[in-house]
Amino acid sequence: MNQSGNLGSGSDSAANPVGEFTFVLHGAGGDLAKRKIIPALAQLASVGYFSPGARLIFAQREALSPAQALAEVDAFLARTGDAAARATLPALAPLLSTCSVRLGEPTAKAGLDAAIAQGPHPVVHYAALPSSRFKDLIACLPEERSAQRLRLVLEKPLGFNARESAEIEAAAAAKFNEDQIFRIDHYLGKQAVQNLLALRLGNRIFEPLLTREHVASVQITVAEDLGVEDRAGFYEHAGALRDMVQSHMLQLLAIVAMEPPVSLEANSLRDEKLKVLRSLKVPQVLGTPEIITGQYAEGYVKGQPVPGYLHEPGVHAQSCTETYVAFRTEVQTWRWAGVPFLLRTGKRMPRRFAEIVIQFRDVPKPLYEPVGGHWSGNQLVIHLQPDDKLELKLLAKTPGERLRLKPVSLDLDFFNTWRIPVRDAYERLITDILRGRLSLFLRRDEVQTQWEFVDRILADLKQHGLGPVPYTSGTYGPSAATAMALRTGALWSEDAVS
């Protein structure tokens, strides 16, 4: 297997199936496993990506047969309406076995060893578990210093603060080398994120423009139209800062702002991302605030009434958990000094979308009249969900005699361009795990630096008694977030087109 960690090494096609392996999915009965991981495994199996000698083991507390386990997943997908995933589930049956593992109990290690015995290598232990169970799982695994023999996959969040994360990392480092540990941030598996790297590193026309001289602002948005749903037990401990900012959003920021690496090798990419993460300015919470937190109240989403966060099942009646956060930061390097980076994420917003908007500066002397009375300028927009695509917004003259400019878009829709299905983020990440590629996974020092940034924000908010302000469900968050963006001379994307 390729151990280089190179982003571009190997092939993902079914014509080049991965070799034999044992894949143990811990927490197979959980929501994440049923919603994302198992459908990704089933899709890969259905297109012939796995060799006949591969083994999949679903590990969970309940003792279920393979048929029972697949039936539970099928019932879950039926409830969520994922007919495409249901259709691929039978492809797992020839490869699947199950085992009951009660982590934290004396019998856990023996039961796991028996299930894995005589299986092919590498053995991949995928921890789709609450982070409180990570150390229990690690305790059950043998000390093995070879990525050819054993790989450990850790889902986010790695703890709920820098201290807990460091404890988990110390337990893993006591048994495994860094190249055996795959820390998941599924946004890095999205095709649009990988094409952002390609856009920057493979095209000369863009990279010279991504500097303070040419960029007015950068905004990153991850908006959800759903509420907390059935995740209140987790979300009450996490909130938007820990759940979204600490992982997805800071990684997206790092990819946008990093310097070109010397190669596509994993550690070269991670080194450059780490420099960005270490250079981030912590937003101030007093004076002219650079961070706004919110909590959704009742309202309407897509025409349907929805309850406020405090009335969701499992939420404490006096909860101060934030479901929305918007903040301004800066990347304090020569390339980006002074450029505002605006990040926001929230639940119960009007629609579900995720995007990165790079706003370029206006021309020094406008000679044309803008349609609508204000300039929108040039933008590079990287759409991450619901569709993966790139959009370059230019200004073009409108037909007729008047010298007016109007925005037009050049779009790159990946499906329509390549005419082949774009691999789901989890499918891509699983293939990279099996091939030993580390480029799309986080390194220990990245995770720690991200936690330190978020911990500092949370500590400042707590110190000054600043809790979330309510915002109506079906809106784009508190009005204070719009005011914060305006103070930097920027508009959130939906405000710019309204």
Sign of CA dihedral 327, 165, 427, 193: positive
Burial state string for 199-234 with b = 16 or more CB within 10 A and e = fewer than 16: beeeeeeeeeebeeeebbbbbbbbbbbebbeeebeb
The first and second tokens of residue 175, run together, are: 């048994």
Q: Which of 382, 474, 420 is nearest to 194 (CA)?
A: 382
How many Å apart are CA 148 and CA 143, to the nearest integer? 13
Choose, from 26, 125, 186, 248, the residue flagged as catalytic: 248
The answer to whether 211 touches 258, Cβ cutoff 8 Å, is no
The answer to whether 298 touches 308, Cβ cutoff 8 Å, is yes
Q: From the CB of residue 448, how many other CB atoms can be counted at a distance below 10 Å?
A: 18
Question: Is there a catalytic annotation at residue 248?
Answer: yes
Quote the distance between the C-alpha of residue 493 and its chain's center.
20
How many Å apart are CA 335 and CA 323, to the nearest integer? 33
The first and second tokens of residue 338, run together, are: 């002074």
Catalytic residues: 248
